[in-house]
Every structure is written in structure tokens, then in C-alpha cells.
Amino acid sequence: MIIFLRDAGRLRPGLSHKTARDIFWMLTGGDVYRMLACERGWSPQKYQDWLADTLVRSLLTPP
């Protein structure tokens, strides 16, 4: 996925493929879900909405 975004020119300016991959890996890991949904009581929908927004803001070129 990160390679596709890079090749399509969609990664944020100055964001390397390696750093984008690391950000994606960290945010989509099971620990983040567990901490927010299980320990902090977030609903699955709230987590999903937050994750989608955070990934877009962290990885993609602004519109």
C-alpha cells in the first residue's frame, strides 16, 4: 500500500517510503486498537474513524 501511494505521488512531501511504512505499521498495530478500544473504552466505530483520519493526515498529500 505504501509503495502504491509513493508511486502515485500521494505521500506527504518530505515523507520517505520508509518513514511512511513505519507510521502505517505503528498506527495499524493491534496495540493501538487494544489501548483505545479495550482500555479506554472507544467504540470500534470511533476507533475506525480516528484511524482513517489519522492515516490520511499523517501520510497523504493535503488536497
- pTM (predicted TM-score): 0.88
- Tens-place pLDDT, residues 5-37: 999 999 999 999 999 999 999 999 999 999 999
- Residue 41, by phi and psi: left (phi above 0), alpha (psi -120 to 50) or beta? left
Domain boundaries, the chain: 2-59
| Encoded amino acid at 9, one letter | G
pLDDT of residue 62: 86
Determine contact, residues 20/59, Cβ cutoff 8 Å: yes
More confident residue, 33 or 63: 33
58 exposure class (CB count in 10 Å sphere: 0-12, 13-18, 19+): middle
Residue 4, pLDDT above cutoff 90: yes
63 has a pLDDT exceeding 90:
no
